[in-house]
Amino acid sequence: MDAEVKGKITGVAASEGVAVGPVFVHAPGELEPERENISEDAVEDELARFQGAVEAVVKKLSETAEGLRESGSEKEAGIFDAQIEMAEDPEVQEGVEERVKNLESPEVAVISVGEEYATLFAEMEDEYMAARADDVRDVASQIAAELMGHEATGLSALETPSVILARSLAPSDTARIPKGIALAFVTAEGSRTSHVSIMARSMGIPAVVGVGPDLEEAFEAETVAVDGGEGYAAVDPDPDTVAEFERKQERIEEEKAALEEYKHVEAHTGDGQRIEVSANLGSAEGAEDALGWGAEGVGLFRTEFLFMERPKLPSEEEQYEAYREMAQAFGEKPVIIRTLDVGGDKDLPGVDQPEEENPFLGWRGIRMCLDVPELFKPQLRAILRAASHGNLKMMFPMIVDAREVRRAKEIFEECRRELEEEGAETGSVEVGIMVETPAAVLCASEIASEISFFSIGTNDLVQYTLAADRGNERLRHLQGADHPAVLKLIEETCRAAREAGIWVGMCGEAAADPELIPKLVEMGVTELSMSAPSIPRAKKVVSEI
């Protein structure tokens, strides 16, 4: 239908579903502190005021988190927990205090420090981390608003169910919208992993983000129709378009109802092949939600978020807690922890990283870990210790040959010996690798003799095979795992695995592609891992093979 849609604006398909409704434009004013500076004798009082404002904001955030938790929204509550951590972060606080001691007003200081951190986040190439920039800004402006005696701007007064348009929406904005009032979100900024997208998906609200300046076309409109699955909105749609959206809505409802029965089944193909369908997660916060969607485990636990959401490297103890929490949440179900996968494009606090011309071809993933044992060993020790609480497996990212695998395993065994000598409790951990480089496929037979499983990371495998940056909008036609070159590599990986008697999973985006799943299964992939809401559909596709 989209070819004929008039007044069409397009963006990123951030949350599936369609909605038609009246427009509400959320355009909060910028915070403009009246005072730039303070006098020297006011420093102590201003520092106390700053502390008071932080406490007030933390109190409000805690109340919001608690309210969300009571209504069963654990995942959304986690967003506010993270904001509390940011508000209380000692480095942020020290940064503000230093500026106040240099006679800057605390409201100006907190906005500046917030902006410094937001810029750091925004520069990270990882989409998820870049999206955290909005959170830092949001927290800083809440503290500044508190200092200035304003209520932070919000949508809490909205009474009519509406499609909400905004430059961006912070978690504190979405959380203030009364239940049932937001029909859809359309934002100028944002990516699939921005919080507005995460919130929209977990609220079951359609969302289109990253529309850019075209969004302004919709500001004067009365009605907007949003298709969050296709990533576009129609401004002031004509009656035919509205009717088309209504029909689509009915089809979506029917499909949702039909998928319900697949959530908690084990997926088998017609000839009895069992395919495990698991979730990709970045923290234990998503565990409950993933289990609700029918996750049979975690096929990819992206541990880098744990490292990048804080100003310093997480200690072994902090990592142990995080991995244990995840292991316990899934009980006997397998949880595959991917060891740290950051690179030259991401500023990892606590590690000296060089400027690189081609960060995606640079010092990332296992390369960095093998070079910096102080980074790698605490993670491996934490995994070994947490393994005594559940069914943990581990995989190394960005592998190119068997030598890297052997070296990583040696360090792992060294950690096990050290822990045993210390009398610490450890568990057994199956070791695998991510197949993300053509080199790993070419060396698959030799690598397979060292490990228990392969997990194909198509997001990177596609970019390295087709020499097409995974984030480059212009290269969309070169970003599909259905390219014959990529399919050959998947097939070869499966062949080498079969010969060595090990299993193959897939945790790249392609694992959720209904068109591709039958081919993957035919080639020999026996585990598919994806974002949790895609699980029921994948199980259905497998059952129909």
Active site residue 26: no
H or E element at residue 30? none
Cα torsion 414, 376, 92, 172: sign: negative
Q: Within 141-160, which residues bind ligand PEP (CB under 6 A)?
A: none
Q: Which of 294/505 has CB closer to Mg ion?
A: 505
> What span, in angstroms and rounded, lies between the C-alpha atoms of 176 and 154?
7
DSSP string, 309-339: SSSSPPPHHHHHHHHHHHHHHHTTSEEEEEP
Residue 458 binds what, of Mg ion, ligand PEP, none (CB under 5 to 8 Å, by partner type)? ligand PEP
Active site residue 389: no
Q: How many CB atoms lie within 10 A of CB 308?
A: 23
37 secondary structure, DSSP code: B
Helix axes 43-70, 90-101, angle to 10 degrees: 150
13 secondary structure, DSSP code: E
DSSP string, 449-481: TT-SEEEE-HHHHHHHHHT--TT-GGGGGG--T
Smallest distance, Å, CB 212 to ligand PEP? Answer: 24
Taking CB under 6 A as the rule, does residue 527 contact ligand PEP?
Answer: no
CA distances from 107 to 39, 89, 160 (A): 14, 17, 34
x/- map, 430-459, Mg ion, by CB under 5 A = ------x--------------------x--
> What span, in angstroms and rounded, lies between the C-alpha atoms of 431 and 416?
13
Smallest distance, Å, CB 494 to ligand PEP? Answer: 16
Q: In what order do the strands lie in the sheet with 232-235?
A: 8-10, 232-235, 223-227, 18-26, 162-166, 182-187, 207-209, 12-15
> What span, in angstroms and rounded, lies between the C-alpha atoms of 433 and 441?
11
Q: How many residues does the chain have?
A: 545
Smallest distance, Å, CB 341 to ligand PEP? Answer: 6
Taking CB under 6 A as the rule, does residue 458 contact ligand PEP?
Answer: yes
Give yes or no for a contact between 322 and 283, defined as CB atoms under 8 angstroms apart.
yes
Taking CB under 6 A as the rule, does residue 276 contact ligand PEP?
Answer: no
Smallest distance, Å, CB 181 to ligand PEP? Answer: 34
Q: Which of 8/364 has CB closer to ligand PEP?
A: 364
31 secondary structure, DSSP code: P
Taking CB under 6 A as the rule, does residue 507 contact ligand PEP?
Answer: yes
Q: Which of 302/539 has CB closer to ligand PEP?
A: 302
Q: Within 426-445, which residues bind ligand PEP (CB under 6 A)?
A: 436
Contact pick of 300, 387, 494, 502 for ligand PEP (by CB under 6 A): 300
Q: Within 459-478, which residues bind ligand PEP (CB under 6 A)?
A: 459-460
Taking CB under 5 A as the rule, does residue 460 contact Mg ion?
Answer: yes
Taking CB under 6 A as the rule, does residue 278 contact ligand PEP?
Answer: no
Cα torsion 511, 515, 518, 519: sign: negative
Reduced to 3 states, what is the DSSP secondary structure of residue 392?
strand
Residues that bind ligand PEP (rule: CB under 6 A) add up to a total of: 10
Smallest distance, Å, CB 507 to ligand PEP? Answer: 5
One of 195, 369, 415, 443 is an active-site residue; which one? 195
Q: Which of 146/341 has CB closer to ligand PEP?
A: 341
Q: Which of 184/433 has CB closer to Mg ion?
A: 433
Taking CB under 5 A as the rule, does residue 135 contact Mg ion?
Answer: no
Q: Which of 15/465 has CB closer to ligand PEP?
A: 465
Taking CB under 6 A as the rule, does residue 118 contact ligand PEP?
Answer: no
Q: Which of 383/510 has CB closer to ligand PEP?
A: 510
Binding site for ligand PEP (CB under 6 A): 300, 302, 341, 436, 457-460, 507-508
Binding site for Mg ion (CB under 5 A): 436, 457, 460
Residues catalogued as catalytic:
195, 507
